[in-house]
């Protein structure tokens, strides 16, 4: 089976071609057109600008993905597209493009949940078996998932407020570092002392796997103001120390909650996904945790941690095999919880 994948739910327009042969996925091409420069002046993603950019670029990304894979549309077996959750204007651009292609070619159309794409990535990269435990940590989401099948996700817990990627981005803003915040905070943290400035470890005192990152961000803001008091600005070393302290606090809570989740739900494999899984301190700490628990640890390569369409093509293949195709009534959904069992609980989308 060979599928085209299309992704346009946030600020990356992406298209990819993925082939399933004898149980293993192979990425034939993966094109990602970022929009960082378009949003840089605004300190965050502007939905209207994102929607327009997706609409302008999605056809081109598809053409490039097909060209790089060396395949015509007719050689495909299906088209998978992110149908939510995300910024609705962007999701609509992708869904309309996919519907157009499906109508023109008669190929099956499969609407994929963006988060299922992230959550199934370790099956694409490492061919692991179900069930496995997944920590999905991205710009908009933070959750522990037990994954029992291509469309069978149980949410064990997650952030009750901000997602960690969002917190990295806000901390970068507070410290006048470039967006996206994850990479720039990590770079600063490498030169900093994580122990100098005390920051809280939210919700560690409470049982379960829920997390909170909004108070941590506020604590960074207060610490910054304290350090700046009487000075014109923030000293370079202070900024690095704050970044190191923040990153250490995020890693500490993620590791402790992961330890609990793995203890209560023993599985062979623990995988991380989402943009924050690109963080080297967080990866190393989770790896060490799993080594101690005799659990296989998997973190996809960085380019498959952040948004891409290969994960959408792959999830599309798995879900197509499970349930067949969608029809032209497929809608774009701004919110779409992965765990069907408790929609009320996870209505916030976190």
Which residues are part of a known binding site for Fe cation?
A: 114, 118, 307
Task: Answer with the entry of Fe ion, ligand ATP, none that 168 interacts with (C-beta below 5 to 8 A by kind).
Answer: ligand ATP
Show contacts with ligand ATP in window 110-129 (CB under 6 A).
114, 118
Strand partners, 142: 137
183 near ligand ATP, rule: CB under 6 A: yes
Smallest separation (angstroms) from ligand ATP to the CB of 65: 18
Binder of ligand ATP out of 306, 312, 313, 319 (CB under 6 A): 306
Smallest separation (angstroms) from ligand ATP to the CB of 214: 14
Asked if omega into 209 is within 30° of 0 (cis), the reply is no
182 near ligand ATP, rule: CB under 6 A: yes
The DSSP-derived string for 59-115 is HHHHHHHHHHHT--GGG-SEEEEEEESS-HHHHHHHHHHHHHHHHHH---EEEEEHH
Strand partners, 270: 133, 297
326 near ligand ATP, rule: CB under 6 A: no
346, 337 Cβ separation under 8 angstroms? yes
- Residue partners of 183: CB distance under 8 A and separation at least 6: 278
Smallest separation (angstroms) from Fe ion to the CB of 120: 13
Measured in whole angstroms, the distance separating CA 284 from the mean position of its chain's CA atoms is 18
The 8-class DSSP code of residue 257 comes to H
268, 129 Cβ separation under 8 angstroms? yes
186, 279 Cβ separation under 8 angstroms? yes
Between 66 and 310, CB nearer to ligand ATP: 310
Smallest separation (angstroms) from ligand ATP to the CB of 44: 10
7 near Fe ion, rule: CB under 5 A: no
Q: Which stretch binds ligand ATP (CB under 6 A): 15-23, 100-108, 182-190, 260-268?
A: 182-190
Can you list the positions of beta strands (E) in 278-348? Answer: 296-298
Smallest separation (angstroms) from Fe ion to the CB of 321: 23
Task: Answer with the entry of Fe ion, ligand ATP, none that 276 interacts with (C-beta below 5 to 8 A by kind).
Answer: ligand ATP
Smallest separation (angstroms) from ligand ATP to the CB of 37: 16
d(CA 164, CA 214): 9
269 near Fe ion, rule: CB under 5 A: no
Q: How many CA atoms lie within 13 A of 234 on its CB side?
A: 20
Q: Which stretch binds ligand ATP (CB under 6 A): 51-59, 70-78, 161-169, 238-246?
A: 161-169
Binding site for Fe ion (CB under 5 A): 138, 307
Applying CB under 6 A, which residues contact ligand ATP? 10, 86, 114, 118, 138-141, 165-166, 168-169, 180-183, 186, 274-276, 278-279, 306-307
């Amino acid at each position: 089976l060979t599928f085209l994948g299309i992704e346009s739910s946030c600020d990356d327009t992406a298209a990819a071609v993925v082939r399933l042969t004898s149980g293993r996925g192979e990425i034939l091409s993966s094109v990602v057109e970022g929009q960082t420069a378009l949003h840089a002046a605004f300190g965050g993603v502007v939905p209207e600008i994102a929607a327009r950019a997706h609409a302008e670029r999605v056809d081109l990304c598809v053409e490039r993905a097909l060209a790089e894979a060396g395949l015509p549309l007719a050689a495909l077996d299906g088209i998978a597209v992110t149908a939510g959750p995300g910024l609705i204007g962007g999701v609509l651009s992708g869904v309309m493009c996919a519907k157009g292609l499906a109508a023109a070619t008669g190929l099956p159309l499969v609407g994929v949940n963006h988060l299922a794409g992230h959550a199934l990535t370790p099956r694409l990269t490492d061919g692991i078996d179900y069930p496995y435990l997944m920590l999905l940590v991205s710009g908009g989401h933070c959750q522990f998932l037990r994954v029992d099948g291509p469309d069978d996700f149980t949410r064990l817990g997650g952030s009750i407020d901000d997602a960690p990627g969002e917190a990295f981005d806000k901390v970068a803003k507070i410290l006048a570092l470039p967006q996206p915040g994850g990479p720039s905070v990590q770079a600063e943290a490498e030169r900093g002392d994580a122990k100098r400035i005390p920051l809280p470890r939210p919700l560690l005192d409470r049982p379960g796997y829920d997390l909170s990152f909004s108070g941590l961000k506020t604590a960074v803001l207060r610490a910054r103001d304290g350090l700046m008091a009487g000075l014109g600005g923030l000293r370079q070393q202070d900024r690095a120390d704050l970044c190191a302290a923040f990153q250490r606090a995020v890693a500490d809570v993620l590791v402790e909650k992961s330890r609990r989740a793995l203890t209560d739900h023993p599985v062979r494999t623990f995988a991380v996904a989402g943009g924050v899984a690109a963080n080297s301190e967080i990866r190393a700490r989770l790896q060490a945790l799993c080594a101690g628990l005799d659990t296989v640890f998997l973190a996809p390569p960085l380019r498959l941690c952040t948004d891409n369409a290969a994960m959408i093509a792959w999830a599309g293949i798995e879900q197509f095999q499970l349930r067949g195709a969608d029809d032209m009534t497929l809608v774009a959904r701004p919110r779409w919880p992965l765990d069907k069992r408790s929609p009320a609980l996870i209505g916030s989308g976190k």
